C-alpha cells in the first residue's frame, strides 16, 4: 500500500474552496498527513501567487515529518502538471494535488513523485 491512501473530506473541501476564492491566481500549500490520510493544508510564509504560477519559499518550511507533498490550483480547467510542477514533485514530497476550475469534487487529481496519477480515497 502507498504511504498516502486517503484525504479527509473536510480537507479536500477546504482546498477546493480556497482554490476557487484565489481564482484567477493560483493557490498553493503543503499537505500534512497522519496514518496515510491527508488531514491538513499548511501555508508557507512568502508564497507568491500569480495567474500562471505559485512559488513556494521551501526554505521557510518547518522541520515537520508529517508534510508529505504539495497542493496547488490551476486557473484553467486542466489539472495536468506543468514542467515546473513536475520539477517540484521530483524535489519535494511524494504526494501532490492539483485542482482546476470549476473547483468541485471532480476537478482535482493526485500525483506521485514522478508525476504519475494516483488514486486517493476521500474519507470522513
Helices (H), the chain: 9-22, 83-91
- Judge whether 74 and 99 are in contact, CB under 8 Å: yes
Q: Is 26 a catalytic residue?
A: yes
Say how far apart CA 112 and CA 98 lie, in whole Å.
11
The number of C-alpha atoms within 13 Å of 97 and in the hemisphere containing its C-beta is 32
* Active-site residue (options: 17, 21, 26, 34): 26
Q: Exposure of 5 by Cβ count < 10 A (0-12 exposed, 13-18 middle, 19+ buried)? A: middle
Residues with catalytic function = 26
Amino acid at each position: 500500500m502507498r504511504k498516502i491512501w486517503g484525504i479527509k473530506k473536510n480537507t479536500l473541501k477546504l482546498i477546493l474552496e480556497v482554490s476557487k476564492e484565489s481564482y484567477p491566481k493560483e493557490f498553493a500549500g503543503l499537505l500534512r498527513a497522519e496514518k496515510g490520510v491527508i488531514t491538513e493544508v499548511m501555508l508557507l510564509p512568502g508564497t507568491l501567487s500569480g495567474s500562471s504560477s505559485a512559488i513556494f519559499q521551501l526554505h521557510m518550511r518547518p522541520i515537520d515529518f508529517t508534510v508529505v507533498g504539495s497542493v496547488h490550483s490551476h486557473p484553467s480547467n486542466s489539472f495536468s502538471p506543468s514542467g515546473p510542477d513536475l520539477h517540484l514533485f521530483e524535489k519535494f514530497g511524494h504526494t501532490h494535488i492539483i485542482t482546476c476550475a470549476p473547483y468541485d469534487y471532480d476537478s482535482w487529481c493526485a500525483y506521485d513523485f514522478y508525476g504519475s496519477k494516483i488514486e486517493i480515497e476521500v474519507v470522513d
